[in-house]
Chain A
């Protein structure tokens, strides 16, 4: 059974991976996660992160999430809702969550309901020992879409790092949703 803090670190690593899949950002956290229950997964991610042409990973990240000529899977919660949009109710809700905990994203132009920010904040709540009610509420507000989304990313991704990252993030989130379900 993964500890609360380990789980928090995994959430934060996954969040960072969806925001900036960069070895400079992720190498140290992944190294430290090799000591956790999912240590082998961390090693694999590290290997995929550091092998091959880094440009391939950047290209695939853009193709999936940010392409100016058609992203496959825009990673904002509001963009996954019907109708898809940016800055929808999910963004406003996430903004309120962040504000209540006294934090704000460093990139002011990024909508608050970006998958990476939400996963990172979920780790923060665990780290801060938020109550079970709080955790459950945040998960219901912002993580229910994540497992299905990550499954699609894992299926679409043409780079093993992103495919595996999505697969792990989906499992991690699905577990938490199950554990914190009311």
Chain B
């Protein structure tokens, strides 16, 4: 019989020295329960953490087991909806492959196929070892000897890296949005992805395809735009999900976007079809009018047709429509075109000019700056001593690209060259967090580079490929187990903050990166992790303080129960902009001062088709996957388990390839083998490969060995190649490859 409450009390009172005593094997692993059985079901508000949309969620939890995730009504991003990736995050939380405990390698031979000989260690041993190794490298070889492949967040982690003076922090943003961030900073102000599509009347999309990416906030907005009568024109080599809702689709030649945008600007200027009030009052057009008009004069629609395959008459008509049907906007987003070509900086600049001429910067129907609640950061709450200078050589050569250096992003595409060729042996210790080798162009190069480092730590949720090369593996919590305050940014004409709270307990011995920052900080930079009272900074106390100072609630616990705060306020358009001149800058003097083109000018793509490699390579991120991090999710794996090489039927037929035929795809960087999938939705001179597949690690039970890495086809770069190409924004050029295709075997 199970114990009654009375029996249980009796048991508890008599078993202190028996069942639960030191000699009892049972007592070593069990203890008296704090409470009797319960089956309480709760619904908790939280925010997704899979992408930076961070859609609001409602989590249904029974006895600390997550049962269901759904959208949060009233959330400005998800508007009550979430995507398949967010909804199926439960499967990642409960993935049997999750990293569970800190582990240490005992086999010194590092190879992607060798058994590392893992043994379990305590967190204390892990922290001590990491501190001793990293501390030793810092004192013996200087700050340049450490490489952190990691985002610059959360802020406690950023503080830790600043506190020890990390010179070489590298993130993925050169293959993401760095170029747009740089350009936007100098043309209009802080970077934003916020567009007021619902009030737009004309939307020009250059590669922008966020409907296919399942970005809920943008899906809702694009549908609102259509309902509001906006005309949508899509330029994309493939008939994408977004192109399907467009009024017009042009299968543009890859890299030809820049030509079309330049020609549209030419028409707008020649026919004075721009917003004269906005351009006159809030831009530097008048100051540089002569140079501006002269710069674009040569970019006629007829010229652009030759570079893009878009008919000149259509370019001219679209330009006129864009100039006349106001408000108009041309959005740009990560990994569409902005990051992907050697001419990405010019594309981002040209798109900025389009939007400035449309007069819709921070105006209804345009690109605007999100209105947010000010949440103080850790350095405001606990002011640190002066951070040490970051002296040392940049392994990726980013210092030769001053604008990228200033942006403090990147660079994946040059890292392997730096480690293997420019500065061999310089990097002694690596901290690698939440990145996949497949996120790098030419991932085999970065894998080779990592083998040469003496000591490498990998922290992640799942056993990513890089873990195979680690000396210490640390298990990370995921967003469902973490806490934060999340400001709305992509749809925030009024400020809104949503809570992120642990809807389930952290499993096993997983820890957050913020916790790790404090623990390593105590050991390596203690002065930066104490409060004025001398106590160690506590992430939970910090969160309480931020909550209070932001006026969200009296404590984080209270805000957890509230879930979301919205402060309705009228949208008042800006009249000054956060640039050096205080105006939107069509002509960018800062670019000129550095020897770069101050106005966008034509540059071709880096890799163009040739006799040897006759196809443009296009890559895309499928809507059901988050880059390369969700392929092991059971639900998403069922929806899309592997990738294929997608070809137009006419192109495939010329090569004797049919549906399902195994094909070898080759570029100057490498080759992969995938089955062919025929589709009439892309240009015959393009082949398309989904990103995110081809994980090497068989520890990813579902994803390991499935499909192939698009990145193996994409050349990495040297910093000299970037400079020679005039790619001053440092684009990683992940869509700048040409390939050949042939039947396998």
Contact = CB atoms under 8 A, between A and B. Distances in A.
Contact of A101 (B2, B23, B95, B120): B2
A107 B100 CA distance: 13
A102 B25 contact: no
B116 A69 contact: yes
Interface residues of B, number: 62
Interface stretch (B293-301, B448-456, B506-514, B551-559): B506-514
Interface string A1-27: 000000001001101100100000100
A155 interface: no
Interface in B661-717: 697-699, 701, 704
Nearest to B119: A58
Given A62-B120, A109-B508, A100 B3 contact: yes
B132 to A, nearest CB: 20
A99 B118 contact: no
A55 B117 CA distance: 10
Nearest to B20: A103
B29 A63 contact: no
Interface in A98-114: 98-111
A130 interface: yes
B94 A67 contact: no
A91 B63 CA distance: 11
Contacts of B62: 92
A104 B29 contact: no
A102 B11 contact: yes
Contacts of B704: 70
Interface stretch (A81-89, A139-147, A161-169): A81-89
B115 to A, nearest CB: 7
B142 interface: no
A147 B704 CA distance: 29
A149 interface: no
Given A69-B467, A70-B699, A92-B65, A100 B94 contact: no
Contacts of A19: 29
B468 A69 contact: yes
A111 B93 CA distance: 12
B634 interface: yes
B538 interface: no
A116 B32 CA distance: 18
B91 A85 contact: yes
Contacts of A131: 1
Contacts of A103: 30-33
B8 interface: yes
A119 to B, nearest CB: 10
B119 A59 contact: yes
A70 B101 contact: no
Given A69-B699, A70-B699, A99-B38, A59 B117 contact: yes
A69 to B, nearest CB: 5
B507 A109 contact: yes
A69 B473 CA distance: 10
B385 interface: no
Nearest to B9: A102
B36 A99 contact: yes
B272 interface: no
A27 B650 CA distance: 72
Interface string B82-106: 0000000001011111111101001
Contact of A105 (B30, B66, B509, B701): B30
Contacts of A100: 2-3, 36-37
Nearest to B699: A70
A136 interface: no
B119 A62 contact: yes
A22 to B, nearest CB: 10
B28 to A, nearest CB: 7
A102 B33 contact: yes
A67 B116 CA distance: 9
Contacts of B30: 98, 103-106, 117, 120-121, 124
Contact of A76 (B1, B96, B118): B96
B586 to A, nearest CB: 52
A94 to B, nearest CB: 11
Given A101-B2, A102-B3, A55 B106 contact: yes
Given A85-B94, A86-B95, A92-B65, A109 B506 contact: yes
A80 to B, nearest CB: 9
B636 to A, nearest CB: 13
A107 B463 CA distance: 23
Contact of A102 (B12, B506, B508): B12
A97 to B, nearest CB: 9
Interface string B13-49: 0000001000101101111111111110000000000
Given A85-B96, A134-B1, A13 B29 contact: no
Contact of A104 (B34, B98, B100, B118): B34
A86 to B, nearest CB: 4
B23 A68 contact: no
Which of A78, A86, A106, A127 is packed against the most chain B CB atoms within 10 Å?
A86
A95 to B, nearest CB: 6
A58 to B, nearest CB: 5
B505 A108 contact: yes
A25 B120 CA distance: 16
A105 B118 CA distance: 25
A66 B101 contact: yes
A83 B634 contact: yes
Contacts of A130: 1
A36 to B, nearest CB: 14
A74 interface: yes
B26 A69 contact: no
Given A59-B106, A86-B94, A123-B26, A68 B119 contact: no
Contacts of B36: 99-100, 102
B464 to A, nearest CB: 10
Nearest to A133: B1
A120 B7 CA distance: 21
A104 B36 CA distance: 10
Contacts of A91: 65
Contacts of B97: 70
Interface string B461-493: 001000110000101000000000000000000
Interface string B47-65: 0000000000000001101
A120 B118 contact: no
A79 interface: yes
A74 to B, nearest CB: 5
Given A55-B106, A92-B63, A124-B30, A85 B507 contact: no
B608 to A, nearest CB: 40
Which of B8, B26, B103, B634 is packed against the most chain A CB atoms within 10 Å?
B26
Interface in A26-74: 28-29, 55, 58-59, 61-63, 66-71, 74
8 contacts: A62-B103, A62-B120, A66-B100, A69-B473, A87-B507, A99-B33, A109-B508, A111-B507
Given A120-B25, A127-B19, 12 more contacts: A59-B117, A62-B103, A69-B467, A69-B699, A70-B698, A86-B96, A86-B98, A87-B65, A87-B94, A87-B507, A101-B8, A117-B30
Interface of A: 9, 12-13, 15-16, 19, 25, 28-29, 55, 58-59, 61-63, 66-71, 74, 76, 78-79, 83-88, 91-92, 95-96, 98-111, 116-117, 120-121, 123-124, 127, 130-131, 134
7 closest Cβ contacts across the A-B interface?
Answer: A70-B699, A99-B37, A102-B8, A12-B25, A79-B96, A104-B33, A68-B473
